[in-house]
Amino acid sequence: MKNHPTAPKQLARLTGLLYLIVIICAGFSQGYMRGTIVVPGDAAQTALNILEQGGLFRLGLATDLIAFTADAVIAVLFYQLFKPVNQTLSMVAAALRLLAHPAIASLNLLNHYLAQHVLESTEWALSHSPEQLYDLSLLFMDAHRAGYLIAGALFGLHCLLLGILIYRSDLIPKAFGVLMSLAGLTYLMETFGVFLFPGNDAWLALLVGGAAALGEVSLMGYLLARGVRER
């Protein structure tokens, strides 16, 4: 019982540590690996990059899986931290995060895996021309991109609700709540913007990157350094 007052601070710092792992792993896989290997609209070059950098491509899948697993734990920890503020809202926010990455984005990694598998499979090579395999591989990467955006919509809703919970609590400065809500809105803008108004991918991705840096990275830093305020 003596340690009970510090339990929320310990939970918060563990959440911050896991968030750091997520940011590093997801940043590597999505920002560096796929940004380096996948050439939008160029099936041949993308296929060549995958074949030449197969180890890096597989590592990207592994780091994504690590990030999504850590995200499942983060969802539960955030629920524990904020259920005294509003249990229902905290539960909905946790459910959305669990659906976004541990569920949808993890299953979506099958598209990532298949993009490499069709290029390296002997059976596929015997029944398809190289150009057909290149096109099929890029199709899987396009499907992965779409799945990533679908997961992003649910994650954006999570960030929006988490921002509201932070703002309404006395655990974390309200500014982080505002920044997380803004990050959530940009995730939603990217998903619906890309699907409804094709051709805006580049600037929407930059918008999300900036908002996530302000919201998620700053929140992660605060949780690691300070934990939460004691009630």
pLDDT of residue 3: 47
190: pLDDT strictly greater than 90 = yes
Take residue 206 and report the two structure tokens written for it: 């930059």
Q: What percent of the chain has pLDDT over 70?
A: 97
pLDDT of residue 231: 59
**How many separate helices (H) and strands (E) can be counted in the chain?**
11, 0
CA–CA distance, 98 with 223 (Å, rounded to integer): 20
* 227 Rama class: left (phi>0) / alpha (psi -120 to 50) / beta: left
Take residue 207 and report the two structure tokens written for it: 């918008």
17: pLDDT strictly greater than 80 = yes
Q: What are the backbone dihedrals phi and psi of residue 21, each rounded to the nearest 5 degrees, phi first?
A: -60, -45
Contacts of 208 (CB under 8 A, 6+ apart): 152, 183, 186, 187, 189, 190
1: pLDDT strictly greater than 70 = no
Q: pTM to 2 decimals?
A: 0.91
What is the length of the chain?
Answer: 231
6: pLDDT strictly greater than 60 = no
For residue range 140-177, list pLDDT tens digits in order: 999 999 999 999 999 999 999 999 999 999 899 999 99
> Average model confidence (pLDDT) for the chain?
93
Contact between residue 182 and residue 131 where contact means Cβ atoms under 8 Å apart: no
Gyration radius of the chain over CA positions? 19
Take residue 79 and report the two structure tokens written for it: 């629920």
Take residue 188 and report the two structure tokens written for it: 């939603």
Q: Identify which has the larger pLDDT, 97 or 209.
A: 97
224: pLDDT strictly greater than 50 = yes
pLDDT of residue 137: 96
Contacts of 179 (CB under 8 A, 6+ apart): 163, 211, 214, 215, 218, 219
Take residue 74 and report the two structure tokens written for it: 């983060």
For residue range 33-57, list pLDDT tens digits in order: 998 999 998 999 999 999 999 999 9
pLDDT of residue 157: 97
4: pLDDT strictly greater than 90 = no
Q: 80 by DSSP, 3-state: which? A: helix
CA–CA distance, 187 with 15 (Å, rounded to integer): 21
For residue range 70-129, list pLDDT tens digits in order: 999 999 999 999 999 999 999 999 999 999 999 999 999 999 999 999 999 988 888 889
Return the number of other C-beta atoms located less than 10 Å from residue 57's C-beta: 23
CA–CA distance, 41 with 202 (Å, rounded to integer): 14
DSSP 2: T
